[in-house]
Amino acid sequence: MKLEKLILKNFRGYYGEHIIDINSLTALVGRNDVGKTTILEALGVFFDHKLCKYDAADKCVDSKESDDVAIGCIFSGVEIPIVLDATSITNLRDEYLLNDNGLLEIYKVFAKGKGTGSVQAKCMAPSAKGAKSLLNKKNDELKIIAASIGVDEADKRSNVSLRQEIYKKLGDLKLKDSFVKLNSEEGKVICEKIYDKLPHFALFRADRPSTDEESEVQDPMKSAVQSALQKIEDQLESIKENVKEHAVAVAKNTIKHLHDISPNLAAGLVPQFKVEPKWENIFKLTLEDDRGIAINKRGSGVRRLVLISFFKAEAERLQNEFPDKGIIYAIEEPETSQHPTNQRLLIEAFQELANSEKCQVLITTHVPALVEKIPTESLRHIIRTLDNGLEIKNGNNETLRNIANDLGVYPDSRASVLVCVEGPNDINFLKNIGKVYLDHGIANIPDMLNDPRIVFIPMGGHTLKDWVNNNYLKTLKKPEVHIYDRDISTPPQYEKEYKSVNDRKDGSIAFMTTKREMENYLHPDAIRAVFNIEINIDDMTDVSTEVSHLTTYNESNAKKKINKFATAKMTYEMLNARDAAGETIKWFNAIYERL
């Protein structure tokens, strides 16, 4: 399942109902103490995370005494079997547990803000006489209802069969938008099965409390040991029983001999193991550098980088071991203790995680340097309203303007030329290929990696930084260099833009690749060096699709890795072989001339 929305009602600062859209990557942005962490901890309460326990004090102070507190989640990907036992298999649709959009909408509701909470599904539920609340009825009750309406074909021992035959016999169930409690009989069992199918939820807080979980932050390799032990649980159980058997035999033999000496003393002795073995305390695993310094002795910033890498490795493992489950990583203020260079690497790591199948990442931040690198559609701006309430806005041009004002993001006044491309993959291509020419000493090549006068604008999707700079540069009328892929469309997708830019006569210029796209200028050897595959590339090869077919990467991740890593493997000789006409060097010359 995939989390689509989070709904908060009267939880802490969120008075009334608030709906937060959740993407594969979602960044909660806002000033301090505006409710960002509250969202992560609400998810922790929903998913029963051990660091997030609901307390009566979590009820919003502005709500009435009679108001309930609710934390709800809406999930897609809900067409899954629910196995109750060997003979009873059902699904959420047949049990009428989906909402009017065919999604699973499930809540933890704390009546009047108290208690441990009940689980309820908001769904299009039957309201016809005889069809209401069948999930919470016992087998005998279902049999009585079935007999009263003339149901004959149901398996009387199966509640699933009885419910389905009752629904079928009644016909018009008068479905109504309702809240169905899943707290008794088979409703409770189905609730447990639903939670088994929900994504794994991992929370990493900036101010982790001093609990037994603290050791995970200090040394995440402990989780690696626990994971390995789980895989050999049966063997360990056999070892434990073997040890017990032999030890008890020795103890009994000892008691036997003691009986010959002191019968009264021996009579009161019984072999007994007091504590189960803790295997994770036996096996110690850590990461050390070449000087023997363990990772838990390094700085907090380094430990955080290791933990993020651990998250990535765990996401891969969980997806392999539990292919029907997703995983959600909630990370508070990942930029803490990080150098700006590492902040950029973290965002790239989060984006890679979020692009993994069945993996979602939520982060909180108020640092402009981090926010400006996040795609617009992933931003959620949290602001405090005039009446001291909270409001959450999805990323768009208006939101970007407000975030820029809120966090103090300003355009780079050093900008001299705007390089417009289709997306961030093209930016990586140009940076690395430009470096090949620059390192070879070719004249009139700009430093695409470090020159602050060059501003990249991905036209197919932008970030806060792109929006700020683009808006700024438009008013100053800076020259633009546009580079578009030809692709295979006829006419090319950006042909109108290509012609329009070249007709401006304001110093701007546009290029269109003669090959399919930028990846077609790469040499097969560069791709082979990264992916260890054999691939042939001509001018119209769909390179990312070919790489995807030959590896375990999906097309999106293949394209990213090609442009980030394969481009860095290119040499001047490889470029000459793939671009004999010198097409790419003309792009860089055009940028250089406009600096």
Q: Give the count of beta carbons closer than 10 Å to the beta carbon of residue 461.
A: 12
The verdict on residue 294 lying in a domain is no
Q: Are residues 254 and 380 in the same domain?
A: no
How far is CA 481 from each of CA 470, 497, 584, 587, rounded to the nearest angstrom? Answer: 13, 12, 13, 8
Same domain, 442 and 522: yes
pLDDT in tens, the chain (595 residues): 899 999 999 999 899 999 999 999 998 988 888 889 899 999 999 998 888 899 999 999 888 989 999 999 999 988 888 887 667 788 899 889 999 999 999 999 999 999 888 999 999 999 988 888 888 888 888 888 888 888 877 777 788 888 888 888 888 899 999 998 988 888 888 888 888 889 888 887 755 443 334 444 444 566 667 667 777 878 888 888 888 888 888 888 887 777 777 777 777 777 777 777 777 667 766 666 677 766 666 666 666 667 667 666 766 666 677 777 888 888 888 766 566 666 677 777 777 778 777 789 998 887 776 777 788 888 899 988 887 788 898 887 777 777 777 776 666 667 788 898 888 899 999 999 999 999 999 999 999 998 988 988 877 655 655 655 655 556 667 888 999 999 988 888 888 888 988 998 888 999 999 999 999 999 999 999 999 999 999 999 999 999 999 998 888 889 999 999 999 999 999 999 999 999 999 999 999 999 8
CB 207 within 8 A of CB 37: no
| Whether residue 421 sits in one domain with residue 400 | no
CATH number at residue 25: 3.40.50.300
Domain coverage including residue 550 = 417-593
Q: Are residues 7 and 138 in the same domain?
A: no
Is 155 within the bounds of a domain?
A: yes
* Domain annotation covers residue 401: yes
Question: Between 221-231 and 233-261, two packed helices, what is the crossing angle to 10 degrees?
Answer: 80
Q: What is the pTM of this model?
A: 0.69
For residue 50, being part of any structural domain is answered with: yes
- Within a domain: residue 146? yes
Residue 476's pLDDT is what? 62
Choosing from 355, 383, 409, the residue where a domain stops is 409
Same domain, 325 and 197: yes
Q: Is residue 269 assigned to a domain?
A: yes
Helices and strands per DSSP (H, E), number in the chain:
20, 18
CA nearest to 373, candidates 305, 424, 446? 424
Task: Give me the residues paired with residue 414 across strands.
Answer: none
The residue from 139, 173, 207 where one domain ends is: 173
Regarding whether 536 and 494 lie in a shared domain, the answer is: yes
- Is residue 488 assigned to a domain? yes
Query: Is there a single domain that holds both residue 150 and residue 11?
Result: no
Do 475 and 561 sit in the same domain of this protein? Answer: yes
Q: Is residue 286 part of a domain?
A: no
Quick one: 381 and 509 in the same domain?
no
Out of 374, 409, 444, a domain closes at 409
Shared-domain flag, residues 274 and 360: no
Per the document, the length of the chain is 595
Are residue 86 and residue 106 in the same domain, yes or no?
yes
Indicate if 400 and 545 belong to the same structural domain. Answer: no
Q: Into how many domains does the chain fold?
A: 4
